[in-house]
Amino acid sequence: MKHPFAVTLDSGSSLANLTGSWRTMRPVYVDRLPPCNHACPAGENIQAWLYHAESGDYESAWHVLTKDNPMPAVMGRVCYHPCEGACNRAQVDETVGINSVERFLGDEAIKRNWRFTPPEAESGKRVLVVGAGPSGLSAAYHLRRIGHGVAIHDAGPAAGGMMRFGIPKYRLPREVLDAEIKRILDLGVELKLNAKVDNILETMKAGRFNAAFLAVGAHIGKRSYIPAGSAAKVLDAVTLLRSMEGEDKPLLGRRVVVYGGGNTAIDAARTARRLGATEAIIVYRRTRDRMPAHDFEVEEALEEGIMMKWLSTIKRMDEGVLTVEKMQLDEKGFPQPTGEFETLEAESLVLALGQDVDLSLLDGVPGLQIKDGVVQIDANMMTGHTGIFAGGDMVPSERTVTVAVGHGKKAALHIDAWLCGAAHAPAEKHELASFDKLNSWYYADAPKTVRPMLEGVRRQNTFEEIQGGLDETNALYEARRCLSCGNCFECDNCYGVCPDNAVIKLGPGNRFRFNYDYCKGCALCATECPCGAIKMVPESI
Q: What does the DSSP assignment read for 178-189?
A: HHHHHHHHTTT-
- Reported as a single tens digit per residue, the pLDDT across 165-190 is 999 999 999 999 999 999 999 999 99
- CATH number for the domain including 409? 3.50.50.60
The predicted model scores a pTM of: 0.91
Check whether 402 has a pLDDT greater than 50: yes
Task: Place 21 in a pLDDT band, splitting at 50, 70 and 90.
Answer: low
- Reported as a single tens digit per residue, the pLDDT across 116-141 is 999 999 999 999 999 999 999 999 99
Do the beta carbons of residue 384 and residue 360 sit within 8 Å?
no
Query: What pLDDT was estimated at residue 226?
Result: 86
Q: Is residue 424 part of a domain?
A: no
Instruction: Compute the average pLDDT of residues 462-491.
Output: 94
Q: Which has the higher per-residue pLDDT, 11 or 534? A: 534
Q: Is residue 400 part of a domain?
A: yes
Q: Which has the higher per-residue pLDDT, 244 or 460? A: 244
Query: What pLDDT was estimated at residue 440?
Result: 80
* 56 and 21 in a common domain: no
- Reported as a single tens digit per residue, the pLDDT across 68-79 is 999 999 999 999
Chain centre to alpha carbon of residue 43:
8
Check whether 482 has a pLDDT greater than 80: yes
* 152 and 103 in a common domain: no
Instruction: Compute the average pLDDT of residues 264-286.
Output: 95
Domain end: 479, 502, 528, which one?
Answer: 479
Do the beta carbons of residue 522 and residue 19 sit within 8 Å?
no
Cα–Cα dist 214/204, whole Å? 12
Q: Is residue 433 part of a domain?
A: no
* 371 and 272 in a common domain: no
| Neighbouring-strand partners of residue 190 | 151
Number of domains in the chain: 4
Instruction: Compute the average pLDDT of residues 394-419.
Output: 96
Q: What share of the chain is helix, strand, coil (3-state, %, to 5)?
A: 35, 20, 50
- With a pLDDT cut of 90, the percent of the chain lying above it is 82
The closest alpha carbon to 158, from 139, 185, 138, 140, belongs to 185
Q: Which has the higher per-residue pLDDT, 442 or 380? A: 380
Q: What is the DSSP letter of 352?
A: -
Check whether 327 has a pLDDT greater than 90: yes
Domain end: 336, 352, 368, which one?
Answer: 352
Query: What pLDDT was estimated at residue 247?
Result: 75
Cα–Cα dist 102/49, whole Å? 9
Comparing 192-206, 435-449, 494-508, the range with the smallest average pLDDT is: 435-449
Cα–Cα dist 140/206, whole Å? 19
* 240 and 130 in a common domain: no
- Reported as a single tens digit per residue, the pLDDT across 328-384 is 999 988 999 999 999 999 999 999 999 989 899 999 899 999 998 999 999 999 999
Contacts of 185 (CB under 8 A, 6+ apart): 159, 191
Q: Is residue 301 part of a domain?
A: yes
* 238 and 337 in a common domain: yes
Contacts of 68 (CB under 8 A, 6+ apart): 42, 43, 44, 45, 409
Query: What pLDDT was estimated at residue 164?
Result: 96
Residue 368, phi then psi, degrees to nearest 5: -75, 145
Chain centre to alpha carbon of residue 387:
26
3-class DSSP state for residue 394? helix
The sign of the torsion formed by the CA atoms of 305, 310, 314, 317 equals: negative
Query: What pLDDT was estimated at residue 505?
Result: 95
- Reported as a single tens digit per residue, the pLDDT across 302-318 is 999 999 999 999 999 98
- Reported as a single tens digit per residue, the pLDDT across 216-250 is 998 888 888 888 877 678 999 999 999 998 878 88
Helices (H) then strands (E): counts for the chain? 18, 21
Beta strands 126-130; 149-153: pairing state = parallel
Q: Is residue 428 part of a domain?
A: no
Task: Place 18 in a pLDDT band, splitting at 50, 70 and 90.
Answer: very low
* 500 and 532 in a common domain: yes
Cα–Cα dist 214/127, whole Å? 11
* 132 and 180 in a common domain: yes
Do the beta carbons of residue 182 and residue 98 sit within 8 Å?
no
Check whether 31 has a pLDDT greater than 60: yes
Query: What pLDDT was estimated at residue 20?
Result: 45
Query: What pLDDT was estimated at residue 515?
Result: 93
Range of the domain at 393: 126-219+357-419
Q: What is the mean pLDDT of the chain?
A: 91
Task: Place 7 in a pLDDT band, splitting at 50, 70 and 90.
Answer: very low
* 500 and 467 in a common domain: no
Domain end: 337, 352, 367, which one?
Answer: 352
Do the beta carbons of residue 297 and residue 467 sit within 8 Å?
no
Query: What pLDDT was estimated at residue 541?
Result: 57
Query: What pLDDT was estimated at residue 196?
Result: 95
Check whether 5 has a pLDDT greater than 50: no
Query: What pLDDT was estimated at residue 12?
Result: 36
Q: Is residue 202 part of a domain?
A: yes
Q: Is residue 62 part of a domain?
A: yes
Cα–Cα dist 541/525, whole Å? 19
Q: Is residue 459 part of a domain?
A: yes
* 215 and 363 in a common domain: yes
- Work out the angle at residue 88's Cα, subtended by the Cα atoms of residues 86 and 93, and round it to the nearest 5 degrees: 115
Do the beta carbons of residue 154 and residue 163 sit within 8 Å?
no
Number of other residues whose CB lies within 10 A of the CB of residue 416: 20
Chain centre to alpha carbon of residue 332:
31
| Sequence letter at residue 354 | G
* 336 and 295 in a common domain: yes
